[in-house]
């Protein structure tokens, strides 16, 4: 096994499936099954979940609304997604817990590094909700931050595309796909698959980033086992 402990960033958009908004339970169930498969390989997993399927702060700001309020709404969206993923995991017998960066004790536990490490040690899949808890950040940055706090061996970004390309492959179908890159190359070439703050934080903490398609069932386990299709970023 290439890694023994990883953090998986699940894009909010992935959860909406073909319906274009919200949560497709069948997709959440499939992602949960992928997580269970990797867990069965003996890998410790924690998860940061996005919120873009429900709300993005920039969408409010671009229509003349207040960015900070928009970001608060976006962070709340990640909590909704985290609860859905926990439900899907619990249903298939995987013990999972949601820790939120924004306190909402009636709904889930609040994040602390201590609690997160204790739950992981107890064998639970820890789902981090609420992003970093601060506006003007993204859940990619939250993923790099939690990856550093959990001391994992790699940050897996499960997204809409199967790796990092020389340009956005959705806009430029002829873009070249990279097998490997360094953090520096992503920043230097301005590759937009992950935000700059997230890549810089991962670089500083020497955390490899693995970008792969979350839409391919079983791909997470294949990559962990050294197969599959992904771009691996390391220093």
Residue ranges that bind ligand UDP, judged by CB under 6 A: 11-13, 50-52, 56-58, 70-71, 74-75, 77-78, 131-132, 134-135, 137-142
Q: In 3D, which of 18, 51, 15 has the Cα closest to residue 32?
A: 15
54 close to 24: Cβ distance less than 8 angstroms: no
Q: In 3D, which of 7, 235, 231 has the Cα closest to residue 125?
A: 7
Specify burial of residue 197 (Cβ count, 10 A radius: 0-12, 13-18, 19+): middle
The least distance separating ligand ADP from the CB of residue 11, rounded to whole angstroms, comes to 3
Instruction: Write down the residue that tokens 């497709």 correspond to.
Output: 24
Taking CB under 6 A as the criterion, the residue among 38, 44, 50, 126 binding ligand ADP is 50
The least distance separating ligand UDP from the CB of residue 217, rounded to whole angstroms, comes to 20
From its phi and psi, is residue 210 left (phi > 0), alpha (psi between -120 and 50) or beta?
beta
The least distance separating ligand UDP from the CB of residue 118, rounded to whole angstroms, comes to 23
From 31-39, 85-93, 125-133, 156-164, span contacting ligand ADP (CB under 6 A): 156-164
Taking CB under 6 A as the criterion, the residue among 11, 46, 81, 100 binding ligand ADP is 11
- Selection from ligand ADP, ligand UDP, none that 46 binds (CB < 5 to 8 A by kind) is none
How, if at all, do strands 231-233 and 209-213 pair?
antiparallel
Query: Could you tell me which residues come within 8 angstroms of residue 217 by beta carbon, excluding any fewer than 6 positions away?
Result: 30, 33, 34
1 sits near ligand ADP (criterion: CB under 6 A): no
Nearer residue to ligand ADP within complex by CB, 70 or 169: 169
- Selection from ligand UDP, ligand ADP, none that 164 binds (CB < 5 to 8 A by kind) is ligand ADP
Specify burial of residue 39 (Cβ count, 10 A radius: 0-12, 13-18, 19+): middle
- Selection from ligand UDP, ligand ADP, none that 220 binds (CB < 5 to 8 A by kind) is none
Query: Could you tell me which residues come within 8 angstroms of residue 32 by beta carbon, excluding any fewer than 6 positions away?
Result: 85, 88, 89, 91, 92, 94
The least distance separating ligand ADP from the CB of residue 12, rounded to whole angstroms, comes to 6
Taking CB under 6 A as the criterion, the residue among 24, 34, 71, 140 binding ligand ADP is 140
Give residues in contact with ligand ADP (CB under 6 A).
Answer: 11, 13, 50, 52, 140, 159-161, 164-165, 167-170, 191-193
Binding site per annotation, positions for ATP:
9-12, 52, 56, 159-160, 165, 168
């Amino acid at each position: 096994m290439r890694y023994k402990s990883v953090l998986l960033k699940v894009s909010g958009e992935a959860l909406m499936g073909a319906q274009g908004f919200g949560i497709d339970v069948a997709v959440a169930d499939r992602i949960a099954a992928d997580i269970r498969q990797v867990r069965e390989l003996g890998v410790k997993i924690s998860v940061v979940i996005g919120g873009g399927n429900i709300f993005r702060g920039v969408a409010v700001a671009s229509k003349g609304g207040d960015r900070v309020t928009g970001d608060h709404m976006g962070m709340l969206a990640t909590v909704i997604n985290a609860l859905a993923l926990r439900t899907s995991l619990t249903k298939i017998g995987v013990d999972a817990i949601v820790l939120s960066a924004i306190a909402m004790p009636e709904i889930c536990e609040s994040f602390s590094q201590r609690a997160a490490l204790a739950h992981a040690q107890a064998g639970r899949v820890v789902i981090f909700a609420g992003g970093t808890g601060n506006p003007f950040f993204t859940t990619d940055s939250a993923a790099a931050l939690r990856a550093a706090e959990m001391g994992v061996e790699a940050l897996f970004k499960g997204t809409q595309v199967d790796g990092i390309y020389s340009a956005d492959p959705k806009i430029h179908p002829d873009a070249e796909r990279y097998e490997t890159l360094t953090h520096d190359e992503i920043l230097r070439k301005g590759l937009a698959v992950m935000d700059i703050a997230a890549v810089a934080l991962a670089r500083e903490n020497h955390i490899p980033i693995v970008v792969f398609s979350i839409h391919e069932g079983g791909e997470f386990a294949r990559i962990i086992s050294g197969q599959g299709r992904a771009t691996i970023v390391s220093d």
